[in-house]
Amino acid sequence: MAKFLLSLAIVYALVVALMWAFQDRLLYLPHAGREHVSSPADLGLGWEEVTLTTEDSVALDAWWIPAPEPRASLLFFHGNAGNISHRLESIAQFQRLGLSVFIVDYRGYGRSEGRPSEAGTALDARAAWQWLRNEAEQEADEIVLFGRSLGAAIAAELAVSLEEQQTTPAAVILESPFRSVPELAQQLYPFLPARWLARIHYPVEDYVTQISAPLLVIHSRDDEIIPVAQGEAVYRAAREPKRLLEIQGGHNTGFLDSEPVYSEGIDAFLSELVESAGGEHGQPPD
């Protein structure tokens, strides 16, 4: 019995050590699809391929898809797997809502250089924001920050960084957000001291307490990867003005499974909280 318990303890310690050492490989999955599988041209959309350079001189791949008569520009931060070419269905949805879309691949994803990290994705987000402001000549109150899953954490961090510069975007939309990496890991791996092992944090629940822009949290009750309780906690922690949009469907398909509720919810949020704010947070309604 003593030998069995000792063997069990050794195995457990090994699992804990591997969890600590390789947690970045569990979170960042750039190799799930490095090659582009399509482009906006396949949907008949006009677009521009853009190369960004971050503050630490990493080259990033991005797409600019302007809308014919845009109500705003959406800065799109995608999830932890695949690349920008896997997000065409979302881009089409946002285009139908009258939004120009700027979507970027983080370092190490798709055709972007480098290796992903928490500090690195923050620099990537800043580079994307600066391109929209300087090259696309978008005003801050014309830009909506959108992030899905991991991208929600990156969007929230950028929003806080802008707040520190006394800059406020038109709105922030967080789809399938988690409270933080330690909290999510503990919920997913209750048999491990995951909360204490985490070297990556992305404290979204803390970030939203500092965001003054109108906030929309979107989450599916069917989400099998990030439990809806995580998104609800983020929503509760957030400052007003805020809205919660509940959808249905899986983590990677809810935005499609829940049409038209999904698009109608975003449209209503933009109309009620963003465009109605006029010069304070967005453009006046038509």
Q: Which pLDDT tens digit goes with each residue over 203-242? A: 999 999 999 999 999 999 999 999 999 999 999 999 999 9
Region class of 176: left (phi > 0), else alpha (psi between -120 and 50), else beta? left
Asked if 182 and 195 count as a contact pair (C-beta separation under 8 A), the reply is yes
CA distances in angstroms from 51 to 58, 87, 122, 127, listed in the order given: 10, 18, 17, 10
What does the alpha-carbon distance between residue 175 and residue 161 come to, in Å, rounded to a whole number? 19
Q: What residue has token string 């965001």? A: 211
pLDDT of residue 280: 45
pLDDT of residue 285: 32
Region class of 249: left (phi > 0), else alpha (psi between -120 and 50), else beta? left
What does the alpha-carbon distance between residue 101 and residue 58 come to, in Å, rounded to a whole number? 22
Is residue 149 part of the annotated active site? The answer reads yes
User: Given 105, 124, 141, 223, which residue is catalytic?
Assistant: 223
Please enumerate in sequence order all residues whose Cβ is within 8 A of that of 151, keeping only pairs 6 or more positions apart, or say none.
Answer: 76, 77, 78, 79, 175
Reduced to 3 states (helix: H, G, I; strand: E, B; else coil), residue 21 is helix
Which helix (H) or strand (E) segment holds residue 124: the answer is helix 118-134
State the pLDDT confidence band at 32, using cuts at 50, 70 and 90: confident
pLDDT of residue 282: 40
User: Given 149, 176, 180, 220, which residue is catalytic?
Assistant: 149
pLDDT of residue 26: 79
Is residue 223 part of the annotated active site? The answer reads yes
Q: Phi and psi for 57 in degrees, rounded to 5?
A: 65, 35
User: How many CA atoms lie less than 13 Å away from 184 in the CB half-sphere?
Assistant: 27
What does the alpha-carbon distance between residue 23 and residue 80 come to, in Å, rounded to a whole number? 13
Is residue 42 part of the annotated active site? The answer reads no
Q: Phi and psi for 172 in degrees, rounded to 5?
A: -130, 130
State the pLDDT confidence band at 15, using cuts at 50, 70 and 90: low
CA distances in angstroms from 128 to 81, 120, 247, listed in the order given: 19, 13, 28
Q: Phi and psi for 27 in degrees, rounded to 5?
A: -90, -50
Q: Say yes or no to pLDDT of 276 above 80.
A: no
Q: Phi and psi for 205 in degrees, rounded to 5?
A: -60, -35
Please enumerate in sequence order all residues whose Cβ is within 8 A of that of 60, keeping only pairs 6 or more positions apart, or say none.
Answer: 51, 52, 53, 54, 104, 105, 106, 107, 112, 113, 124, 127, 128
Q: pLDDT per residue over 84-94, tens digit each?
A: 999 999 999 99
Which helix (H) or strand (E) segment holds residue 48: the answer is strand 48-53
Task: Output the six-digit token pair for 122.
Answer: 């923050």
State the DSSP code for 76.
Answer: E
Q: pLDDT per residue over 97-127, tens digit each?
A: 999 999 999 999 999 999 999 999 999 999 9
- 193 versus 181: the higher-pLDDT residue is 181
